[in-house]
Amino acid sequence: MIEINEFDNNQKIAESTKLIRYIFDNNFTKRQLDMMYAIISLVKPTDDDFKTYHISYSAIGKIFNPQNPYCEITVNDINLAVKDIMNKSFRIKTDKKTKHYHYIEYAEVDEEEKYIDFRLSQDVKQFYLKLRKEEYTVFLLDDIMKLSTVFQLNLFKWLSCNSNFKNDVSITIDDAKIRFYGDISIRTADFIRKLDNAIKKINAKTNLNVSCQRINKKGSKKIDVLRFTIKNMYKREE
């Protein structure tokens, strides 16, 4: 068991490129994802197995409320957060198969010591453990924490993943709506407004520098394809 009293926002996170490319959706809030990635940041891609982490309330509190990191988090807040995360899942869709996964296998809240024990699920080992360098994408916990919405995080991870292989990448507007927003029915104008805001935030707060060209359907004013140009300022150690 490893005791954690504070998370290091400069810690690198290594996540399977396959997971980033094929995750279909998740129903996590941004705060819940911040908490999950703080835990995942403790994992090394060369580890043989997941460890149990003994994490203080204060460390969790700084993730929940980074603007006021010394605000005391209540036992009720902790128990609700753990319950929500334990109940949440994500889906991976490839071809005709859809697989469902949970991040957390085990959690125990110690109200007397004010610590929480977490262990990640064995089902997600393939996405975080024993990965070769060409199989994962690296980003910093700090980058994730500085983003405000799930939309921004989804876009950032997808761009980071693609920046491993090329500087330009395209996606249809319909696929982008599903991948970044989770709902193809959103009006294109509303989606583009969210996209523009997300790109501004990513450029201002993370290691990526991104621009986006909108390509219309032939003979139409409707947007068909988004073409991103990506510059990744973070160099992964070889």
CB 147 within 8 A of CB 153: yes
How high is the mean pLDDT of the chain? 89
pLDDT band at residue 45 using 50, 70 and 90 as cut-offs: confident
What is the rounded average pLDDT of the residues 99-125? 93
Q: Is the confidence at residue 238, as pLDDT, over 60?
A: no
CATH architecture of 2-128: Orthogonal Bundle (1.10)
E-assigned strand segments in 102-189: 104-110, 115-120, 136-140, 168-172
Residue carrying the six token digits 């500085």: 146
Q: What is the pLDDT of residue 235?
A: 54
Residues 115-153 as b or e (16 or more Cβ within 10 Å = b): bbebbbeeebbebbbebeeeebbbbbbbbbbbbebbbbb
Q: Where are the domains of the chain?
A: 2-128, 148-232
What is the topology classification, in CATH, of domain 148-232? Answer: Arc Repressor Mutant, subunit A (1.10.10)
Q: Is the confidence at residue 27, as pLDDT, over 90?
A: no
SS3 80: helix
Question: Whole-model pTM?
Answer: 0.91
148-232 shares the fold of 2-128:
yes
